[in-house]
Structure 1
Amino acid sequence: MKKKFLDQQILLAVRNYSRTRIRLPPPASAKAVIRVSNNVAHLGCPKEGPKPQQLLSLPPFPGHPLPGRKSATAHHVTAISWLKYYFDDIPPPVIQSHFNKGLVQMECIDSTNSSRSHKGQPLSMIKINHNEVMEVGARIYVPVSVAESRIPKRFDVIPSGTLCPNADEIEYLQRLVKYKDSAILVLNKPPKLPIKGNMPVHNSMDALAAAALSYDYDEGPKLVHRLDRETSGLLLMGRTEDSISQLHWLFSGVKKGKSMSKGWNDACAKTYQRYWALVIGCPEEKEGLICAPLTKVLLDDGKTERVILGNNYGLETSQEAITEYRVLGPMINGCSWIELRPHTCRKHQLRVHCAEALGTPIVGDYRYGWFIHNRWKQMPRVDFEPKTGKPYKMRRPEGLDVQKGSVLSKVPLLHLHCRELVIPNIAKFLQLLRNKDTENESGPDLLRFVAAMPSHMKISWNLMSSYLV
């Protein structure tokens, strides 16, 4: 009788507390907390905090006046001015919001003037305000969301390409123009648009520019440097014979003598281009200088021309080629964003240096990275956060089904974009030369241009960077 009574009490307790379950406590190393989910209580580990965002590294602060910014001096440049300068194509309110949220950080520089930690150890960083004064060599880190951009509904288009463009094609080409003065023309070239035409190619940039971008001049602008057909970004053209001659001299890479004046020579010394590229893999060193000469070889009985590293074959006809590179952030899904600054102007220099010197070919470069592309699987996995060792958490962005040559495509387009260009103010110096007025020069006068990435690279950027939380 007593045993029957105890069984009834146990059955009653089970019925009353059937909706409450107690799980085994977690290991002693983790502090247990009580959680309730769907009216079920259990012991578990505390909820993890937000995962760290992927950080984008800016170049070290140069310590000299910023090109194109007359008001800023080398001795008083604030952090927000440096970010607005570097991200010239980003709306200022977006940059200000990152400061307001405390998302902008700076490396801590110790007494030895070295902010780099030992290999494998995280960097020591502090949050900074927008009015922080930049010091020479200071390096800022911001979340990649600062460079996040919307994808236009109408993707990049290419003119139908006749030697006599119609009104729509002329309007399209004029929308590509970012800057125009009496001496030069700067355009943001879309991908897949050839630069130099031949008999079977009519929609080349030089032919279209001559027909649609002459404006009030008798002749159209002329090319002074080139971009590959698949490469996008800033393209510079000269409008007069004098400007074309000076720009050819500037981009020739062989500057034996000086010309014009000291101000012109100083401005030429500060001329540079910066490219952004998405590469497969990640370079071993986060930044460095590639000094690898290049040479051209003929394949298929002279039908195909290919650029290779000259050192590997000991060829005497090799040309000097120097590229400065910097990794922008950690590797995500097997790919990395890097910044390239060529010091010489050689054909396919950046593509060969990335593929053969660094061992990380550019996404979409099947000419120099076909072997790795055959083994590469797009979006194979989610990489781990380098500081904590925990995997990134990815949320699905809108429009993932839209590929248009992005990293999601089975055959992605080339992910190489000429993003930044700094050149002398050709029109000013030519005017001073005509007037023979060199005493009134106030120092080097530079022009700086920044071009937004094309749609296929924006999709890849948003997917692989900004949507990591």
Structure 2
Amino acid sequence: MPSRWTQELRWMRCNVARGDHEMRLDRWLRQQFPSAPQSLLQAQLRKRKIRVAANHNVLTISAQDEPVGGLLELQPAKAGAVLREGFTVAIDAHLFRNTLQALAPAAMSAERAAHPTHRGPLLPELLSRVVHADANFLVLDKPHGLAVQEPLPNGCSGHAVKDGTGLATSLADYLPAIAQAFADATPASGGATERSDEAAEPCRLVHRLDKETSGLLVLARSRLAAAKFAALLQTGQVRKTYHALVAAPTALQRQALETALALAGGAITAPVDGKPATTLVGVATHSRPDRRGVWLELSPVTGRKHQLRVHCAQVLGAAIVGDRKYGGPRAERLFLHAHRIAFPDPFHGKEEGDERGDGRQQVQSTSDIAVERPIDYVYWSEAGHAPPHIASERV
């Protein structure tokens, strides 16, 4: 996202934001000036008209460094230099105003096209479902029936096309508006808030839930947060727990289920030569009797497509209630709910609050961020207290 620039003497300067920590200088410049040709930026770096002031010595120091306002020392930098939070990037004021700033209108139009801010009828509901917020992540309790991202036609790439009304059709369409709503106050230590002077960067999807699955979904508030969460996923440090109502009313002991998932004729099956997949399963500790079956607690060890639904239907022989794709009994919704998600805080090695569904706070003894919605929440829709069924607004 474009940042705030100020002038000091003959230089326009901008401080590197937290979300841009560890970004390469050339990528940072392309982010600031998306309409500027790469060749132009490279040439200005060679001419030393774009420089960096570091708060510690990580860049090559030149004998011709100049003071800026008598406070910072500018250093010529290469395109591959790694920026840190708090660094200052300085651009020759003549270059900035006569060349780069002239590209700003086009850049702003491109930004608006890439990240339209939808404030449709679901926005208040989605904001009320944010159950955890800090400077790096939001955790949203996604309603069932809302797609995380609208699928594109075969062979297409980019952002999904809206219908003629311009209404948002997926959660992804609301991410800029959600980010903007949380931009004014950023959580600080001790539970206080501090004002943020930076423009809101659209939240980023870092994992998925099926359209008909409800529950907890993590959103990253910056490129750096998204990268760090992706690293946690790759190393198996994100722990997820789901609650599912299955059709077989039998008591099941905790066990590891291993099967293979593969695509066959548009449906996922479990052939012997398919990919390995593991799910830990047991009866949910807070389960209460249900005439349609038993509530299970499912913890995926691997992350295959429709893994939990396939394991219940094809291995346990007890499909999830409402799962028509895999032979489950008909119901008003798919009874699969992302109940809990926990992961190490990649930015802080300190205790974090555990936001529970009853509004109480409990402190984790580790550096985990742990968010939970009790199983009773799944019954909310059946009790008639939920908003109407939330589905795509596309007709």
Q: Normalising by the residue count of structure 1, what TM-score does the alignment of the two structures yield?
A: 0.44
Please state if 1:165 is matched with 2:118. yes
Distance (whole Å) between structure 1 residues aligned to residue 129 and residue 288 of structure 2: 32
Which among 263, 279, 286 is matched to residue 296 of structure 1?
263
Decide which structure has greater strand share: 2
Distance (whole Å) between structure 2 residues aligned to residue 169 and residue 453 of structure 1: 24
Distance change (3 Å), C-alpha of 1:461 and 1:172: closer
Whether the 8 Å CA contact 1:231–1:414 is kept in 2: the answer is yes
Q: CA RMSD in A?
A: 3.1
Shift of 1:413: 0.6
Distance (whole Å) between structure 1 residues aligned to residue 311 and residue 372 of structure 2: 23
Whether the 8 Å CA contact 2:143–2:214 is kept in 1: the answer is yes
| 1:378-411 CA-partner distances (Å, limit 9, x unpaired) | xxxxxxxxxxxxxxxxxxxxxxxxxxxxxxxx64
Whether the 8 Å CA contact 1:210–1:220 is kept in 2: the answer is yes
Shift of 1:181: 1.4
Counterpart residue identity of residue 192, structure 1: G
Shift of 1:356: 0.4
| 1:235-270 CA-partner distances (Å, limit 9, x unpaired) | 011112221112112223x56xxxxxxxxxxxx3xx
Distance (whole Å) between structure 2 residues aligned to residue 425 and residue 247 of structure 1: 9
Partner of 1:307: 268
Which among 275, 281, 287 is matched to residue 319 of structure 1?
275
Counterpart residue identity of residue 275, structure 1: Y
Partner of 2:296: 338
Secondary structure of the structure 2 residue equivalent to 1:247:
helix
Distance (whole Å) between structure 1 residues aligned to residue 128 and residue 251 of structure 2: 40
Distance (whole Å) between structure 2 residues aligned to residue 332 and residue 449 of structure 1: 26
Whether the 8 Å CA contact 2:179–2:200 is kept in 1: the answer is no
Distance (whole Å) between structure 2 residues aligned to residue 364 and residue 178 of structure 1: 26
Partner of 1:234: 216
Whether the 8 Å CA contact 1:190–1:454 is kept in 2: the answer is no
Shift of 1:340: 0.7
Counterpart residue identity of residue 274, structure 1: T
Please state if 1:210 is matched with 2:176. yes
Query: Which runs of structure 2 are paired with 1:56-455 in the superposition (5 Å)?
Result: 164-166=117-119, 169-197=122-150, 198=152, 199=160, 202-214=168-180, 215-216=182-183, 217-252=199-234, 268=237, 271-282=238-249, 285-297=252-264, 299=265, 305-311=266-272, 315=273, 318-328=274-284, 332-370=290-328, 373=329, 411-428=331-348, 444-452=366-374
Shift of 1:220: 1.0
Shift of 1:172: 2.5
Whether the 8 Å CA contact 2:119–2:177 is kept in 1: the answer is no
| 1:266-308 CA-partner distances (Å, limit 9, x unpaired) | xx3xx411111111014564221101121122x2xxxxx3211
Distance (whole Å) between structure 1 residues aligned to residue 262 and residue 244 of structure 2: 23
Distance change (3 Å), C-alpha of 1:320 and 1:333: same
Shift of 1:363: 0.4
Distance (whole Å) between structure 1 residues aligned to residue 327 and residue 144 of structure 2: 19
Distance (whole Å) between structure 1 residues aligned to residue 250 and residue 257 of structure 2: 12
Secondary structure of the structure 1 residue equivalent to 2:232:
helix
Distance (whole Å) between structure 2 residues aligned to residue 333 and residue 428 of structure 1: 45
| 1:308-328 CA-partner distances (Å, limit 9, x unpaired) | 1132xxx3xx32211011123
Shift of 1:444: 4.4
Secondary structure of the structure 2 residue equivalent to 1:360:
coil
Distance change (3 Å), C-alpha of 1:460 and 1:173: closer
Which structure would you say has the larger Rg?
A: 1
Distance (whole Å) between structure 1 residues aligned to residue 258 and residue 292 of structure 2: 26
Shift of 1:166: 3.0
Whether the 8 Å CA contact 1:283–1:360 is kept in 2: the answer is no
| 1:59-83 CA-partner distances (Å, limit 9, x unpaired) | xxxxxxxxxxxxxxxxxxxxxxxxx
Partner of 2:59: none
Distance (whole Å) between structure 2 residues aligned to residue 425 and residue 213 of structure 1: 20
Whether the 8 Å CA contact 1:325–1:341 is kept in 2: the answer is yes
Whether the 8 Å CA contact 1:282–1:331 is kept in 2: the answer is no
Secondary structure of the structure 2 residue equivalent to 1:338:
strand
Please state if 1:458 is matched with 2:380. yes
Distance change (3 Å), C-alpha of 1:293 and 1:412: same
> Percent identity over the alignment?
27
Unaligned runs of 5+ in 1: 1-161, 256-267, 300-304, 374-409, 431-442, 463-469
Q: Which has the higher contact order (CA 8 A, sep 6+)?
A: 1
Secondary structure of the structure 2 residue equivalent to 1:321:
strand
Unaligned runs of 5+ in 2: 1-114, 153-159, 163-167, 184-198, 351-364, 385-395
Partner of 1:32: none
Counterpart residue identity of residue 276, structure 1: H
Secondary structure of the structure 1 residue equivalent to 2:312:
helix
Secondary structure of the structure 1 residue equivalent to 2:276:
coil
Distance change (3 Å), C-alpha of 1:444 and 1:411: closer
Distance (whole Å) between structure 2 residues aligned to residue 244 and residue 413 of structure 1: 31
Q: Normalising by the residue count of structure 2, what TM-score does the alignment of the two structures yield?
A: 0.51
